[in-house]
């Protein structure tokens, strides 16, 4: 087989995708954290569909990912690793969109290779795939939506009608995207608006109908959730005005796989096109995506100034738009001939570094449970307590999720615990100390006195504090021990 740049590009892109998948499959057994327990507590297989929809009515996210997990749990798939592996459904979305765009001459070989290399080496891929949350599907469907927007833009440029097939693929991708997360709903709305403005009203009614139909479930549930009198479960977000900007910059960098080559080439190509003063059609599509991103981030900066709502993982909704814009520029015909190969090589090196350093292998709540089990081995008559209502007395689902997680890891480490409430007095320790186990303690600098004041428990004897990842473990010894 004769060697060529084209074959090398395909080979490296496929290698990057394969290595990315092998990496995340190896992480399916990593430790769980609070939000994953929230998913499990919301989708217990024994609950009725009525109970499920009552939980969704008090959620802060659209229902699609929860619905997917609930369906598979009712079908008997309850292993956490298997449920996490359902994220694999996002990969065909990206591959299918890229294949269709290639068939429609909306993406060329180099652009697809850059797209796949950035996708599979991005922290948004490697970190979110082994999570029992919607973020990997948000990332993947966001790429599919952006790629299909490129298809529609190119068809408009060639003065082709937006017929049923491209509208069907657009509608399906958009429906998945906007029903996973409300930041995705907003991003999907901006993408739809951008396409309408480019189309300038010519034959836009079918497109608008398809897009509106895709968003109906998310919009209806948002209205229902807004009318709910449940507690505010995002009041913990404290991102300041300036911090929000830095979080956004970090996420743009993360979405692009921190690929210096891709970012550098994209800037180079944009400057080259501006210098040569090429026609609007040569820069229109990436600039449309960039304009959407500016609108997305600009609105969120203003909204966050009124009420903090920005955290890093919510911004994954912009990841697909970022990667597609980079692929159009860094892998396009105006880029140097070896650009796609350089991007793919950098992506493979980045993946290799992440594998070597175990960057994405998280212990989650497993670390705390193993620490408790070790203390119990040292003195087997110790009593173990916990307070699942800490900071969440008024929030049933938060308490439910924390209790689910504590029970999950306690059972896997061979011990049980007793629950306490704020204001309780911990029973006096005997020969062995009491062990009080807390999870999801986000303040890494929390001191013993501040933490004791927060939990509002009364103790007899001495209290020592032990930290394990985000776990806080108190060891309550008798006065004479």
What is the pLDDT at residue 480?
Answer: 61
Q: Are 206 and 337 found together in one domain? A: yes
Q: What percentage of the chain reaches a pLDDT higher than 70?
A: 95
Residues 319, 373 within the same domain: no
Q: Could you give the maximum distance between any two Cα atoms of the chain, in Å? A: 86
Please report the DSSP string for 11-77 in residue order: HHHHHHHHHHHHHHHTTTTSPP-HHHHHHHHHT-TTS-HHHHHHHHHT-SS-SHHHHHHHHHHHTT-
At 362 the three-state DSSP class reads coil
The reported pLDDT for the residue numbered 396 is 77
CA distance 373 to 369: 6
Q: Assess whether 309 and 392 both reside in one domain.
A: no
Say which DSSP state 399 is in: H
Last residue of one domain, picked from the residues 299, 326, 357? 357
- Residue 481, pLDDT > 60, answer no
Does 323 share its domain with 408? no
Residue 28 confidence (pLDDT) above 90: yes
Mean pLDDT taken over the chain: 91
Q: Give percent of the chain above pLDDT 90.
A: 71
Going by DSSP bridges, is the β-strand pair 434-438/384-386 parallel, antiparallel, or unpaired? Answer: parallel
Boundary residue ending a domain (357, 376, 403): 357
- What domain range is 198 assigned to? 5-357
pTM score above 0.85:
yes
Q: What is the pLDDT of residue 262?
A: 97
Same domain, 324 and 397: no
Indicate whether 345 and 375 sit together in one domain.
Answer: no
Same-domain check for residues 430 and 473: yes
Asked if pLDDT for residue 94 goes beyond 90, the answer is yes
| Residues 344 and 429 grouped into a single domain | no
| Greater model confidence, 410 or 281 | 410
Could you give the C-alpha distances from 188 to 37, 185, 319, in angstroms and in order?
28, 5, 12
What is the band of 202 on the pLDDT scale with cuts at 50, 70, 90?
Answer: confident
Per-residue confidence (pLDDT) for residue 308, from 0 to 100: 87
Residue 17 has pLDDT above 60, yes or no: yes
The predicted-structure confidence for 389-405, as pLDDT tens digits, reads as follows 776 555 778 889 999 99
- Give the Cα separation of 95 and 194 in Å (integer): 24
Average pLDDT estimate for 12-34:
96
Q: Do 181 and 295 lie in a common domain?
A: yes
Q: In this structure, are 37 and 162 located in the same domain? A: yes
With b for 16 or more beta-carbon neighbours within 10 A and e for fewer, the 22-36 pattern comes to ebbeebbebbbbbbb
pLDDT at position 285 is: 93
Query: What integer pLDDT is reported at residue 461 of this predicted model?
Result: 86
Segment of 95-104, 271-280, 422-431 carrying the highest mean pLDDT: 95-104
What is the predicted pLDDT for the residue at 442? 77
The tens digit of pLDDT for each residue in 223-271 reads: 998 887 565 666 667 777 888 899 999 999 999 999 999 999 999 998 8
Q: Pick from 339, 357, 375: which residue ends a domain?
A: 357
One domain, residues 207 and 276: yes
In 3D, which of 442, 473, 265 has the Cα closest to residue 378? 473
Question: What is the per-residue pLDDT for 239?
Answer: 78
The per-residue pLDDT for 417 is 93
Residue 423 has pLDDT above 70, yes or no: yes
Whether pLDDT at 324 is above 90: yes
CA distance 34 to 32: 7
Same domain flag for 392 and 460: yes
Lowest mean pLDDT among 85-94, 112-121, 330-339: 330-339
Instruction: Count how many domains the chain has.
Output: 2
**Segment 47-65, tens digit of pLDDT:** 999 999 999 998 889 999 9
């Amino acid at each position: 087989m004769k060697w060529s740049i084209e074959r090398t590009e395909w080979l490296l892109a496929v290698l990057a995708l394969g290595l990315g998948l092998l990496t995340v499959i190896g992480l399916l057994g990593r430790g769980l954290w609070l939000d994953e327990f929230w998913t499990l507590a919301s989708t217990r297989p024994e609950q009725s569909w009525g109970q499920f929809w009552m939980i969704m009515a008090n959620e802060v996210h659209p229902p699609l990912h929860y619905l997917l997990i609930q369906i598979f749990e009712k079908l008997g798939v309850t292993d956490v690793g298997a449920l996490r592996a359902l994220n694999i459904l996002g990969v065909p979305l990206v591959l299918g969109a890229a294949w269709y765009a290639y068939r429609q001459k909306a993406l060329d070989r180099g652009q697809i290779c850059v797209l796949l290399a950035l996708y599979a080496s991005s922290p948004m891929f490697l970190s979110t795939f082994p999570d029992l949350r919607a973020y990997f599907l948000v990332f993947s469907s966001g790429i599919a939506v952006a790629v299909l927007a490129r298809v529609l833009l190119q068809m408009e440029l060639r003065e082709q009608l937006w017929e049923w097939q491209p509208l069907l693929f657009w509608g399906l991708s958009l429906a998945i995207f906007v029903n996973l997360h409300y930041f995705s709903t907003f991003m999907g709305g901006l993408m739809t608006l951008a396409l309408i403005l480019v189309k300038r009203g010519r034959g836009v009614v079918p497109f608008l109908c398809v897009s509106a139909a895709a968003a109906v479930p998310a919009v209806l549930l948002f209205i229902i959730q807004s009318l709910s009198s449940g507690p505010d479960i995002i009041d913990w977000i404290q991102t300041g005005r300036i911090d929000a900007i830095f979080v956004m910059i970090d996420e743009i960098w993360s979405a692009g796989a921190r690929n210096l080559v891709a970012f550098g080439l994209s800037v180079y190509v944009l400057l080259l096109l501006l210098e040569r003063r090429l026609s609007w059609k040569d820069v229109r599509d990436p600039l449309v995506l960039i304009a959407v991103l500016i609108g997305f981030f600009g609105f969120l900066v203003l909204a966050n100034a009124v009420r903090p709502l920005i955290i890093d993982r919510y911004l994954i909704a912009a990841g697909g738009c970022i990667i597609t814009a980079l692929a159009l520029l860094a892998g396009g015909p105006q880029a140097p001939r070896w650009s796609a190969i350089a991007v793919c090589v950098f992506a493979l090196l980045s993946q290799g570094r992440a594998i070597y350093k175990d960057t994405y292998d998280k212990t989650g709540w497993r670390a705390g449970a193993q620490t408790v089990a070790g203390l119990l081995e040292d003195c087997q008559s110790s009593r173990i307590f916990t307070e699942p209502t800490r900071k969440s007395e008024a929030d049933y689902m938060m308490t439910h999720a924390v209790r689910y997680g504590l029970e999950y890891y306690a059972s896997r480490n061979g011990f049980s615990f007793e629950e306490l409430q704020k204001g309780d007095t911990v029973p006096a320790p005997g020969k062995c100390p009491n062990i009080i186990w807390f999870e999801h303690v986000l303040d890494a600098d929390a001191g013993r006195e501040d933490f004791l004041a927060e939990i509002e428990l009364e103790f007899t004897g001495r209290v020592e504090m032990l930290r394990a990842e985000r776990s806080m473990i108190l060891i309550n010894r008798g006065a004479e021990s």
